[in-house]
């Protein structure tokens, strides 16, 4: 971080009444805080604000869906300066970062009570056409009108192939299953014990309240060891997580693309035309557990067996998903799970265990009333191109019933807009040396 950047962060700390940089799980109380951010040309960013009444303030959007600075918190800023005053509450301290470049996906918003609320950012990691996929986003529970907005606010071109909405009618928990599915579960059971490298983490992951657990690399092992112990082993068990990649992970992916230099276009071509190239990428992601986190269960003989995989998401909106677990014939008692996320690359807001009541939930297709472009009516390869700051897609659907939960299925990919800067030696180490991705990502901060 350069000298000007350090002074900028210090200025923010002084404005907030905080004089030290804290981890992402800390919240700092304030009575009145005047927050100011300048973007010239970098962006400083506050992650989220929690009022004393427990409401986490969303970033908000302008009348036309454009990112803006609002009295509900900090959003992405246009060039210039912006400021606001917030009264009494706590602010996560200090989730301030240099925002030189970010990789994300389409942002999905839902309108409730006249306010747009961001609920998802699917398709993370679908960096080119050969990686295009479907993904399911939970839009929320009824009743009432359903309006959905899809918007590109990032330095990338997004290519969308199809968008479909559906509803599940149940008094139980309807939840996204894996990367592209829907299931019905009974209830979420919090772990009786939860520790990361021996340190209790239950308060941070008890529920999805925005107080996320993550970690930082400070030498030594590049992995955390998260141990979760449950008093009950439900039938058809599924791990329920509100979790995904961090800003650090997003920046890492951008850097890796840059490092390919003049060969980036050829790399895209190989991924698009040769499935074996996609497998090479998947093998790296699985080895490093950057986009795919392994879930292991302790066996009765003291070993560990793979029980499932958690796909990544975020970093702005962490997805809530149910991951069905395949338990061994003789799991240990009590049921004990292990996650080994690379340090700083994953954030966890909620972790629990549920029983899948219906793995293939009956759904009602929601036919759009207005706003759906013809290119998105079916997955036919007629990709709709969305450039940065292009007009938002606003789709109106039939109203939800009392016990219905709506989901959006979306298929597509994106291409980031970057200036390649080849660094073959560093890229080679990241690709071939276990843990080098974590070490590099923390060095670059």
Q: How confident is the model at residue 386 (pLDDT cuts 50, 70, 90)?
A: very high
Q: How confident is the model at residue 103 (pLDDT cuts 50, 70, 90)?
A: low
Q: What is the pLDDT of residue 89?
A: 45
Q: What is the pLDDT of residue 421?
A: 83
Indicate if the pLDDT at residue 57 is higher than 60. Answer: no
Q: What is the pLDDT of residue 96?
A: 29
Q: What is the pLDDT of residue 156?
A: 87
Q: Which of 15-19, 57-61, 293-297 comes out lowest in average pLDDT?
A: 15-19
Indicate if the pLDDT at residue 224 is higher than 50. Answer: yes
Indicate if the pLDDT at residue 4 is higher than 70. Answer: no
In whole angstroms, give the CA distance from residue 31 to residue 15: 12
pTM (predicted TM-score): 0.77
Average pLDDT over residues 328-352: 95
Question: Most confidently modeled of 10-19, 25-34, 320-329, 359-368?
Answer: 320-329
Q: Which of 29-33, 121-125, 137-141 comes out lowest in average pLDDT?
A: 29-33
Residue with tokens 């981890």: 23
As given in the structure block, the two tokens for residue 55 are 């409401």
Average pLDDT over residues 399-422: 92
Q: How high does pLDDT run on average in the chain?
A: 79
Q: What is the pLDDT of residue 208?
A: 83
Average pLDDT over residues 390-406: 92
Indicate if the pLDDT at residue 94 is higher than 50. Answer: no
Contacts of 277 (CB under 8 A, 6+ apart): 130, 270, 271
Average pLDDT over residues 57-74: 34
Q: What is the pLDDT of residue 420?
A: 80
User: Looking at per-residue confidence, does 349 or 39 come out higher?
Assistant: 349
Q: What is the pLDDT of residue 385?
A: 95
In whole angstroms, give the CA distance from residue 248 to residue 442: 8
As given in the structure block, the two tokens for residue 11 are 């200025």
Summarised one tens digit per residue, pLDDT across range 154-187 is: 778 999 999 999 999 999 999 999 999 999 999 9
Q: What is the pLDDT of residue 388?
A: 78
Q: How confident is the model at residue 235 (pLDDT cuts 50, 70, 90)?
A: very high
Average pLDDT over residues 287-301: 94
As given in the structure block, the two tokens for residue 219 are 């030498």
Average pLDDT over residues 403-423: 91
Side-chain-side CA neighbours of 143 within 13 Å: the count stands at: 3
Q: What is the pLDDT of residue 281?
A: 87
Summarised one tens digit per residue, pLDDT across range 349-381 is: 999 999 999 877 789 999 999 999 999 999 999
Indicate if the pLDDT at residue 221 is higher than 80. Answer: yes
Q: What is the pLDDT of residue 104?
A: 61
């Amino acid at each position: 971080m350069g000298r000007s950047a350090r002074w900028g962060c210090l200025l923010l700390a002084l404005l907030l009444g905080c004089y030290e940089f804290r981890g992402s799980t800390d919240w700092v109380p304030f009575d009145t805080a005047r927050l100011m951010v300048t973007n010239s040309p970098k962006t400083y960013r506050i992650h989220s604000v929690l009022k004393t009444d427990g409401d986490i303030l969303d970033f908000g959007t302008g009348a036309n869906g454009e990112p803006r600075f609002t009295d509900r918190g900090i959003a992405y800023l246009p060039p210039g300066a912006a400021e606001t005053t917030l009264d009494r509450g706590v602010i996560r301290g200090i989730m301030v970062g240099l925002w030189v470049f970010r990789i994300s996906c389409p942002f999905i918003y839902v309108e409730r009570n006249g306010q747009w609320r961001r609920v998802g950012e699917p398709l993370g990691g679908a960096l080119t056409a050969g990686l295009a996929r479907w993904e399911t986003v939970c839009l929320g529970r009824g009743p009432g009108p359903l309006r959905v907005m899809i918007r590109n606010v990032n330095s990338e071109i997004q290519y969308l192939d199809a968008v479909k909405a559906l509803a599940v009618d149940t008094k139980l928990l309807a939840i996204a299953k894996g990367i592209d599915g829907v299931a019905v579960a009974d209830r979420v059971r919090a772990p009786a014990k939860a520790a990361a490298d021996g340190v209790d983490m239950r308060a941070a992951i008890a529920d999805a309240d925005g107080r996320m657990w993550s970690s930082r690399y400070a030498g030594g092992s590049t992995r955390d060891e998260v141990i979760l112990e449950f008093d009950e082993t439900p039938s058809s068990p599924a791990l329920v997580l509100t979790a995904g990649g961090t800003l650090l992970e997003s920046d890492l992916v951008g850097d890796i693309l840059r490092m390919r230099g003049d060969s980036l276009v050829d790399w895209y071509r190989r991924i698009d035309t040769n499935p074996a190239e996609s497998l090479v990428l998947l093998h790296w992601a699985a080895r490093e557990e950057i986009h795919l986190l392994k879930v292991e269960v302790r066996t009765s003989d003291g070993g560990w067996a793979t029980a499932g995989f958690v796909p990544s998401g975020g970093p702005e909106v962490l997805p809530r998903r149910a991951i069905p677990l395949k338990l061994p014939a003789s799991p240990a008692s009590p049921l004990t799970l292990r996650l080994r996320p690379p340090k700083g690359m994953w954030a966890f807001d909620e972790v629990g265990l549920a029983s899948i009541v219906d793995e293939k939930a009956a759904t009602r297709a929601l036919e759009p009333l207005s706003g759906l472009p013809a290119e998105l009516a079916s997955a036919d390869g007629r990709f709709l191109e969305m450039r940065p700051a292009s007009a938002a897609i606003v789709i109106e659907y039939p109203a939800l019933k009392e016990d219905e939960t709506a989901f959006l299925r979306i298929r597509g990919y994106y291409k980031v807009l970057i200036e390649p800067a080849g660094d073959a030696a560093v890229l080679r180490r990241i690709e071939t040396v276990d843990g080098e991705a974590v070490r590099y990502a923390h060095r670059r901060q």
